[in-house]
Structure 1
């Protein structure tokens, strides 16, 4: 009886193996994996923007099922000690794509990560680097951002990204930053020093900018953007202008690298001009006793704003909201 049971078990194993080797079974297994873990993100080759700094550029500013959440740049610095990541993207899959691209540039391991703030498109890729390189790799962020990611923001952003991409980012886990990075901190990575800048609330209360001192390159995260209207729900127009002024006064000529958009030496001036077109107009409207609807019409007519209206990603869907926020901040500043 025992021998017959063994023979039956062997037959079952042989049959199961044959099934698993069939093309249909392989396709099923792949589909099942994609169900629990979203599909890979297509490769975007890294481009070198300075001696040590490379950029994996995202042409899209917002997450969709089609781009699978690839909506923010992933910037990395190749040092004599290893690779340092400045924001890891919006998902495990984006982080894995970034790793594939980094390996085409260098065989050095990733040794540290910086997260510029607590919005998910900048930290949800942490998982890929931790799982590939080291579970004790330091991840640096401002203390406020660390608190937010460990709290409600971490899982909230993970869930939002899955919804916005129709589950393409499934399988992503929240890996919070582990080490504080405060204003003025300088981190040494062999031949490269990275200096942290925090000038109060700008895009969020916890924004940090990372300056690659040797290259005169500063990654500014989302305090300035190339051709995308910024989310300023958690931020401040006045605080953003203050951050721009301080960065330019203390660091001078830099190549400014945004989380969304192309690097530019004029980035802060150009995006600052756009934001000023919104905020200054609202300040005047409040001073003149005009209501929000009038302020919005005046904002849309301001040449600093109108010249960007047709080309800026997310303009139509967000200009009303961010005019409202500017108006509220102007009222607060006035009183």
Structure 2
């Protein structure tokens, strides 16, 4: 009996240490007055990171706190809240979700559990798609990718839709909504959130740094280029990408914009020369050496060439 009791205590201790170690990975960095970001890992969701990979944001207002993209799972959302409570003891009064991909919003569950009346804002397309099938699809996908480490996650959907240039006030802070710039960019559910006082733009996955993402069937690379140009023209002070380090327009917006422009230029030239996307890929690769060390380059660059080729071919019809 003694041995069994000691084993149980040991397992509990190991579990507690594991949770504490896990929570220590979640640290909000101050980027502006009362504005903080956890810069998540750049790798793919896996058992070790429990699916955590995005950049949750925290704004501390006079009357409450606001969270942007609380992460990919219930456990991730819990750790984001623990990190937020190290910054402020104010209640979370609002959440913004930047788009439908579950690595950004499934952490809503932890916040709703603690604050059932919290308002969660998102693009109307995001809410519709999440409720119809994407929520459950992402829960299953995260479970598979994390080998069950994200299990227990339940989709907690946004409650309020947004419109382009709408001003939303929460916690004594004001936010301007930016979406439908081109209709479709990273997805057709994209919402960018501007914290007006500090001139900070949370870009979602329209903006990426040191990491390449997929462009699936709901994306448009030409649209993403236009959105990044739009974001640059806003002339704000801080830009928070969906993945990668926060910075100004030069360090955080333009690198991915230039990558997409090079892909666009090389594919367009190759298309006009009747080259296939496979023939264009090695030519473009030589022009993209500055991006070879970005996470996911090898697995995604060829797909980006193919996606851009299809878009240019469609525009030529």
Q: TM-score, normalised by structure 1?
A: 0.87
Matches of 1:319 and 1:248 in 2, distance apart?
24
Residues 229-262 of structure 1, C-alpha deviations (whole Å, 9 max, x = no match): 122112111111211222333x223311011000
Residue 210 of structure 1 is matched in structure 2 by 193
Query: CA RMSD, aligned part only?
Result: 2.1
Matches of 1:326 and 1:294 in 2, distance apart?
14
Matched, 1:159 2:140: yes
**What SS does the corresponding residue of 2:152 show, helix, strand or coil?**
coil
Matched, 1:192 2:176: no
Residue 11 of structure 1 is matched in structure 2 by none
Map 1:1-335 → 2, pairs under 5 A: 22-26=5-9, 41-43=22-24, 44-132=26-114, 134-198=115-179, 199=181, 200-233=183-216, 234-249=218-233, 251-265=234-248, 266=250, 267-302=252-287, 305-309=288-292, 311-335=293-317
CA apart distance, 1:189? 2.5
8 Å CA contact 2:204–2:241 kept in 1: the answer is yes
Residues 12-64 of structure 1, C-alpha deviations (whole Å, 9 max, x = no match): xxxxxx99x93434567899x99xxx967332221110002101111323212
Cα distance change of structure 1 residues 39 and 106 upon mapping to structure 2, 3 Å threshold: closer
**What SS does the corresponding residue of 1:151 show, helix, strand or coil?**
helix
8 Å CA contact 2:71–2:103 kept in 1: the answer is yes
Larger radius of gyration: 1
CA apart distance, 1:307? 1.4
Residues 260-301 of structure 1, C-alpha deviations (whole Å, 9 max, x = no match): 000121222111001111122111111221111111122112
8 Å CA contact 1:39–1:168 kept in 2: the answer is no
Gaps of 5+ in 2: none
Cα distance change of structure 1 residues 79 and 138 upon mapping to structure 2, 3 Å threshold: same
CA apart distance, 1:82? 0.7
CA apart distance, 1:215? 0.1
Residues 207-229 of structure 1, C-alpha deviations (whole Å, 9 max, x = no match): 01000010011000000101101
Matches of 2:221 and 2:299 in 1, distance apart?
19
Matches of 2:140 and 2:151 in 1, distance apart?
9
Matches of 2:144 and 2:100 in 1, distance apart?
18
Matches of 2:259 and 2:151 in 1, distance apart?
36
8 Å CA contact 2:94–2:170 kept in 1: the answer is no
Gaps of 5+ in 1: 1-17
Residues 182-211 of structure 1, C-alpha deviations (whole Å, 9 max, x = no match): 211111125421111001211001101000
